[in-house]
Chains A and B, each alone.
Chain A
Amino acid sequence: MTKVPVAKEDVATSDELVVLKSVNKHFGALHVLQDIDLTIARGEVVVVIGPSGSGKSTLCRTINRLETIDSGTIAIDGRPLPQEGKELARLRADVGMVFQSFNLFAHKTVLENVMLGQLKVRKADKKQAEEKARALLDRVGVGTQADKYPAQLSGGQQQRVAIARALAMGPKVMLFDEPTSALDPEMINEVLEVMQQLAREGMTMVVVTHEMGFARSAANRVVFMADGRIVEQAAPDQFFSNPRSDRAKDFLSKILHH
């Protein structure tokens, strides 16, 4: 399969924030990531799409080493991912992550969820941490829910809190691992709108999603994965109107026309 040159007209190529080089990973006999090369520039929004089991979630989780890799290198802001330990924790603090199942700390209030990392990792002053947390919660539109527990919120609200929790760390890059896949249909947009706004503000984002509308409107680049490989990457317009690989044509024909 031919690699398509990446369209990066609005991004400086020298400023590489996340660099994956020949990354391989196996789950037992399954070769889930096969020679992945991917470079994400500062300020770039990369949407990763592909059929289930193609390795896109795994790819996303390797970037902050929630999944280890078997070979290859991953570097963030020029520094290779360290082994498990203090150094890795420090790096993870700079990489925001939003999960499919929200994963808000169930025993803490919404406000405490957004403050925890600031207090314990950034060693921020309590008052400043609370101010920042409340501002972020207002920004994602759940400011009035600050004193509730996660289970009292709707899925869409929980996911927006999760975004606020990640933003509270002042991350260099945000990873979204199917952020809307566990949501009721009417709540998907409220989360996507927050993400759209983040993208407009210049946040570097890696988004694994099935939301083609988001990919079209917010992405600088679409990465199409199948069977553990990056099959094709292109600007969204080009990818959706004129996919080059048969695999991508097949995938798009199944999801776009029915």
Chain B
Amino acid sequence: MFDFLDKYDVLGAFWTTVQLTLLSAVGSLVWGTLLAAMRVGPVPLMRGFATAYVNIVRNIPLTVIILFSSLGLNQTLSIHLGAHDFPTINFRLAVLGLIVYTATFVCEAIRAGINTVPVGQAEAARAIGLSFSQVLFLVVLPQAFRAAVGPLTNVLIALTKNTTVAAAIGVAEAAFLMKQMIENEAELLAISAVIALGFVCLTLPTGLILGWVGKKVAVKR
């Protein structure tokens, strides 16, 4: 009953899913960390911007963000993100949309991590003459990240599954392939099972490995 799979590049589609996930994960980790830094920082303008950004963006459905990046950025404003063919443009737009959206959750996970770091750590860092950014990046964030591995794992798993929204703008990842197969084949249960299994194969190890990492790097107090 799985013979029909020979006609499709299932591995290729999941490889696109993996690429979407990894690029968006790195991007949203960087942007989310900067947002968190702004939210705890001393500059009111940055604090206000980051707070507003998080509260607005995380409440917009991802589909709307992804569709906007294609219809709004690309087709209306002619932003190509340096690519020339449609598959590459759409892939990059999808990554951009995923970063914009996921960074809000990364920011909040890291902010929760920052709250686990005792105030005395920052005070001691300021007392030896470190600047605000040194206190944040050398003392507070390294400890916050270790405490945030668990919540960040959740964000990464959610991100992996959220990449399926990229199918809405034609990125040929796993969910896009699933739609194609559903249109052309009769084995609907088998199709769902294959795609579901594929995602579990991606996310289950993520959870297990990062769970182990989280325990390993936890700060002992």
Interface residues of A (CB under 8 A from B): 64, 66, 84, 86, 89-97, 99, 101, 103-107, 116-117, 120-121, 149, 151-152, 162, 165-166, 169
Binds A, one of B107-115, B125-133, B204-212: B125-133
A66-B123, A120-B134 known; A165-B219 Cβ under 8 A: no
Pick from A89, A97, A120: contact of B138, CB under 8 Å:
A120
Which A residues lie within 8 Å of B139 (CB)? 105, 107
Say whether A90 contacts B129, CB under 8 Å: yes
Say whether B123 contacts A93, CB under 8 Å: no
Say whether A106 contacts B143, CB under 8 Å: yes
Question: Can you show 14 pairs from A to B with CB atoms below 8 A apart?
Answer: A66-B127, A86-B131, A89-B126, A92-B126, A92-B127, A92-B129, A94-B129, A103-B120, A103-B123, A106-B121, A116-B130, A117-B128, A117-B130, A162-B124
Which B residues lie within 8 Å of A120 (CB)? 130, 134, 138
Complex CA–CA separation, A106 to B117 (angstroms): 9
Query: Would you give the shortest CB distance from A237 to chain B, in whole angstroms?
Result: 32
Closest chain A residue, CB of each to CB of B122:
A103
Pick from B128, B130, B131, B220: contact of A106, CB under 8 Å:
B220
Main secondary structure of the interface of B (DSSP, over half): helix
Closest chain B residue, CB of each to CB of A95:
B127
Complex CA–CA separation, A166 to B123 (angstroms): 13
Query: Would you give the shortest CB distance from A120 to chain B, in whole angstroms?
Result: 6
Which A residues lie within 8 Å of B121 (CB)? 103, 105-106
Interface residues of B (CB under 8 A from A): 42, 118, 120-121, 123-132, 134, 138-139, 142-143, 146, 219-221
Query: Would you give the shortest CB distance from B145 to chain A, in whole angstroms?
Result: 9
Which B residues lie within 8 Å of A96 (CB)? 127
Say whether B124 contacts A121, CB under 8 Å: no
Query: Would you give the shortest CB distance from A191 to chain B, in whole angstroms?
Result: 16
Say whether B128 contacts A166, CB under 8 Å: yes
Say whether A89 contacts B129, CB under 8 Å: yes
Complex CA–CA separation, A185 to B41 (angstroms): 39
Closest chain A residue, CB of each to CB of B146:
A107
Say whether B126 contacts A66, CB under 8 Å: yes
Closest 9 A-B residue pairs measured CB to CB?
Answer: A93-B129, A103-B124, A117-B128, A103-B120, A151-B220, A97-B127, A121-B129, A92-B129, A106-B219
Which A residues lie within 8 Å of B118 (CB)? 101, 103
Closest chain B residue, CB of each to CB of A122:
B129
Complex CA–CA separation, A104 to B132 (angstroms): 18
Complex CA–CA separation, A186 to B142 (angstroms): 34
Complex CA–CA separation, A94 to B128 (angstroms): 8
Say whether A84 contacts B129, CB under 8 Å: no
Which B residues lie within 8 Å of A89 (CB)? 126, 129-131
Say whether A105 contacts B126, CB under 8 Å: no
- Given A93-B129, A106-B220, 9 further pairs, Cβ under 8 A: A86-B131, A91-B129, A104-B124, A105-B125, A106-B143, A116-B130, A117-B128, A120-B130, A121-B129
